[in-house]
Amino acid sequence: MRNSRHHFPLAVDRRTLLQGALGTGLFAPYLSLTAATAQTTFKANPFTLGVASGDPAADGFVILTRLAPEPLLGRGGMAPQPVDVTWEIAADPDMKQVVRSGIAMARIEFAHSVHVEAEGLEPARDYFYRFRSGGVESPIGRARTLPAPGTQLVQVKFAAAGCQAWEGGCYTAWRAIAEESFDFVFLYGDYIYEHAFAAVDREGRPFARVMPNDFFICFTLTDYRRRYALYKSDPDLQAAHASCPSCRASTITKSRTTGRPRAMAEARPPTRCWSVAQRRCRHGTSTCRCGVHCCRADRIC
């Protein structure tokens, strides 16, 4: 009796395999993705959050930006495709003496942010940088390398900053920092706060400015990205970041009573409060114990 199964060769050469894959459209998603990357255009300015530099060393630093035409949306107003971003580092503020350049890819996995580690630069001097994508140029930022190890220092000019609650008012201190041309800024903590929207303080006094009313306590990665985007939308903070590198400390705000991170101390764990069957909050009210209005299917309290 003849075997009804088809017999295939045990080996297929690479050319045949690739031709077959292309013929069946197996690589079509990747080819279309490449095309989408090459034809990127923006309906609005993608550099709404400005530029920044950090982690300075004697031979370089990190330069950063994020593409976000609509920064407070979940994806910053970006399509899911990766986007090419050109970066340049120059020895002069007019960007005519470019000493380093390249192309970085902004991916949705990292919220279309760009993180470039520049090396091989001269110690103890100013450099300037910018980004370009879809025919749009970012603001020009200033960075500075550290002195070479063992160098005798005459002075170090830096600022220390932290605890910048959005509701506290305008960031005029950041504007002053931007105008000083510091060697670097040391960020000692509390760059953002994770609490939910509030219009008044504990004494009932209105805040100088408030967050959008759809800003709940931060739990998810999207929550944190939106919170950072809100803070970074401040023009004075953007100017300060563009003026010099930042050095940061890794800290977590603690509650005075529990020692836990504040968002955890003031809120319940991130479990859904919504009961689809009963169409009501399981706490029996329209407001969760954490103070967040949670009787919506798409919210977490």
Per residue in 175-213, pLDDT (tens digit) is: 999 999 999 999 999 999 999 999 999 999 999 999 999
* pLDDT tens digits, one per residue of 96-150: 999 999 999 999 999 999 999 999 999 999 999 999 999 999 999 999 999 999 9
| Among the listed residues 275, 225, 230, the one whose alpha carbon sits nearest the alpha carbon of residue 288 | 275
Residue 3 in domain? no
Domain around 248: 155-267
In degrees, rounded to 5, the angle at the alpha carbon of residue 22 between the alpha carbons of residues 21 and 24 is 65
Are 122 and 175 in a shared domain? Answer: no
Half-sphere exposure of residue 60, counting CA atoms within 13 Å on the CB side?
10
Are 186 and 202 in a shared domain? Answer: yes
Other beta carbons within 10 angstroms of residue 79's beta carbon come to: 11
Given this model, what pLDDT does residue 40 score?
A: 77
Choosing from 123, 148, 173, the residue where a domain stops is: 148
Residue 4 in domain? no
Residue 298 in domain? yes
Are 73 and 175 in a shared domain? Answer: no
Are 293 and 200 in a shared domain? Answer: no
The more confident residue out of 31 and 43 is: 43
Whether the pLDDT of residue 77 is over 50: the answer is yes
Choosing from 102, 131, 148, the residue where a domain stops is: 148
Helix crossing, 235-243 with 221-232: angle to 10°?
A: 90
Q: How many domains does the chain have?
A: 3
Which 3 state secondary structure label does DSSP give 37? Answer: helix
What mean pLDDT comes out for the span 4-25? Answer: 49
Are 134 and 212 in a shared domain? Answer: no
Q: What does the alpha-carbon distance between residue 3 and residue 265 come to, in Å, rounded to a whole number?
A: 69
Rg (CA), the chain: 25
Are 137 and 90 in a shared domain? Answer: yes
Residue 180 in domain? yes
Residue 262 in domain? yes
Given this model, what pLDDT does residue 13 score?
A: 56
Are 137 and 186 in a shared domain? Answer: no
Residue 21 in domain? no
Residue 15 in domain? no
CB 187 within 8 A of CB 247: yes
For residue 115, the domain's CATH number is 2.60.40.380
Residue 124 in domain? yes
* pLDDT tens digits, one per residue of 268-299: 333 333 333 333 333 343 333 333 333 333 33
